[in-house]
Amino acid sequence: MSDLLDFAIEAHGGWKRWQEIKGISAQAAIGGGLWHLKGWPDALAKTHVSIDPHHPIAKYVRFGGDDRSSLFESDRVALFSGDGNMIEERAAPREAFKHHTLTTPWDALDLAYFSGYAMWNYLTAPFLFKMPGFQSKEIEPWNEGSETWRRLHVTFPGEIPAHSREQTFYFDETGLLRRNDYSVDIIGGTSSANYALEPKTFGGIVFPTKRRVYAKDSDNKPLLDRIAVAIDLQSIDVS
């Protein structure tokens, strides 16, 4: 296991504290160009998300801009009405994206899958990298403005839903996550830089409370003229 991973886990609250946690939830405001492109511009503008920190499970309420809720699991997604009755579900949801491109519209179950696995990954990094099947190694550092960030190359196991199996995570001198690079495979592949901003401590764990995702150029630099995804988290609860 990489020394950088151990350093990052300690900086974010430590492995012992993480193992004690049973659930994480947050009020969220989510927007950006991607949602417009996929036909859901305000679907998650004001929502509440909760996750199981140790298994790929995420739930949204006020999903899709109304009183519905969604459930994401690694091999299933489902939608529920406001009174808790299931509206529809889909097994093996990733298979539905097989021929998708960047401009392919999403249905509600597509949205539930993407928003579910993405938020689960964001709220569990870097701790999830100690789960069985993950491989990580430190690679050459990166200069971002006046700072030098250490970088961790992570290979995800096939059973963990993620943007892509190969991802790079950047950590500052204190060990906090600052950036995550990946390709979003289910929309045909991208070159994305996800910036983790405004870290705050809740329940002994440090979380970025803002995320801003940009396309990046061939020099690995973000194209700041357009925000693909913007996430603002408020009142995070750790149980």
Per-residue pLDDT for 42 more than 60? Answer: yes
pLDDT in tens, 118-140: 999 999 999 999 999 999 999 99
Peptide bond into 126 cis (omega under 30): yes
Q: 136 Cβ partners below 8 Å, 6+ apart?
A: 1, 2, 4, 5, 129, 152, 153, 154, 155
- pLDDT over 60 at 1, yes or no: no
Question: What whole-number distance in Å separates Cα of residue 143 and Cα of residue 215?
Answer: 18
> What is residue 236's predicted lDDT score, i.e. its pLDDT?
97
Mean pLDDT of all residues in the chain? 97
Domain over 3-238 is classified CATH 2.50.20.10: yes
**Nearest one of 215, 216, 218, 196 to 207, comparing CA atoms:** 196
Model pLDDT for residues 179-234, shown as the tens digit of each residue: 999 999 999 999 999 999 999 999 999 999 999 999 999 999 999 999 999 999 98
User: Quick check: 2 pLDDT over 90?
Assistant: no
Tell me what percent of the residues of the chain surpass a pLDDT of 70: 99
pTM for the structure as a whole: 0.97
pLDDT, tens digit (0-9, with 9 covering 90-100), for 149-179: 999 999 999 999 999 999 999 999 999 999 9
| pLDDT at residue 65, as a whole number | 77
